A and B are shown apart, each in its own frame.
Chain A
């Protein structure tokens, strides 16, 4: 069986708010070009993203909302008319054909799902997806339709699957969490900067699900200024224990690349090291528990020059069992993009060491994160003991 497919269509680049908006899918182009430069991505690996049908969007969204998105994108509605739907705001402005572009991102994730679930490949990647803040009837935080929510419902209906959703974006995966808050057959795991300071503000350890779904939402809010070691400790322990507890049929990972020190919107101090490790463990556990069934999507990532292309390349390389590269980036890639970039590139796969000044309260931050982990996992550790 082929290892993996890379889902992409140029139409995915149509999801664009403006030239100055932080959410910029040019990062897809930059990532693909980097992978092609090191001959890690072949045209034969790429499959086009289909467009999600309206029926599929309805798995996660209100018909009224879909209608609003359509009409807004065709210039039929003013900002004021859309505002209560989270559209026309500074975060999620109206742009032309926004429904079509958003449906294309959702379709990409559905394409990835079908490839994996029909057994054509073990893993599939749709970097255009991962829009985890989208709600049933409202856009939020740059996200119009929530591709992961649609994909998980689709996995349930078409393939009767038990799904584990893992979200390592620096922002809490609120939209996906609330969609499955009462569903015992979907487990959500989100590691994010604490909502005390950062959007969306949710994702406390006490959000554990409700009713039948109680105990199938896991949140690991880490402190601002958390660095690699502590991030990875939380990630590795939470992943192992939640996989063991939930025993999913398939895993869907959201791979936001905004926990890096350079990211302008967050306050975590991750380096490229975490983006080497995150996919490794997801890959390993997908094979241990899900017969290899692993679907991965993109997500946040607002330093599109220095961080996202390197981070997302690691994801694809790991998925396809290619060795993770070290040393210099291809010169041709640097030469091609440096003139456009407003910041000087990091010319190697690794970040310079040290990347930043030492954090004064490192020990306390690590201690606090470890305590948080124990509290968040208490519910399953307790059950094990009983």
Chain B
């Protein structure tokens, strides 16, 4: 998946001459925490975040309702030359950038101009969708050996049952590095027959796996 598919294509923006007060007002009204600052040709000059503003303002515990900071221009406190992304960046690359650079948003730039913005919230929602949790389905977890072709063997069973697989996640087995855990969401209320067949094929089905209840 590429950034273009998840980015917000109409981000709220500011001009460098807007005031801090205007920035704060826009953030509160639109419920956003990051605003790209651009010039008339939509070149990205900087980014201003809610946190930048909070750091610039005096403590809210002090009685200074008319702090001069409110009237300062955003260009004075914005992050200049911020990290930017491209519409063709992979989503996982962006996730890594967020994690490593400790930033909460990336303005997306193409042809030198701002075309969108991606935030950690957008990435989080993409993750939720990746797990398949937004469609009716049952979850099955299987421990498999970390060998080529194993996914094919598993999906053969789902194919036999004409079952629609909504998502597959593969993650390492914390107990044994020779194994992987497959977490599969299948569009069915009754996964029993599939589980039975998976077991018959010798797979270790971890969930559902209930002490005392036989799955017949």
Contact = CB atoms under 8 A, between A and B. Distances in A.
A235 to B, nearest CB: 22
A199 B194 CA distance: 15
Contact of B190 (A22, A174, A202, A357): A22
B189 A261 contact: no
Contacts of A347: none
A195 B213 contact: no
B133 interface: yes
A136 to B, nearest CB: 14
A323 B216 CA distance: 36
A22 B163 CA distance: 16
Is chain B's interface secondary structure helix, strand, loop, or mixed overall? loop
A356 B185 CA distance: 28
Interface stretch (A45-53, A55-63, A262-270, A282-290): A262-270
Interface size band for B = 20 to 34
Given A201-B132, A201-B133, A264 B216 contact: yes
B215 to A, nearest CB: 6
Nearest to A200: B136
Contacts of B216: 264
A195 B132 CA distance: 11
B170 to A, nearest CB: 18
> Which one of B136, B138, B164, B188 has the greatest number of beta carbons of chain A within 10 Å?
B136
Contacts of B87: none
Contacts of B193: 90
B208 interface: yes
Given A265-B189, A356-B212, A357-B211, A198 B162 contact: no
Contacts of A196: 133, 139
B137 A267 contact: no
A200 B137 contact: yes
Interface of A: 21-22, 89-91, 133, 140-142, 171, 174, 195-202, 261-262, 264-265, 267, 356-357
Shortest 6 CB-CB contacts between residues of A and residues of B: A200-B136, A141-B189, A199-B138, A199-B189, A197-B139, A356-B212
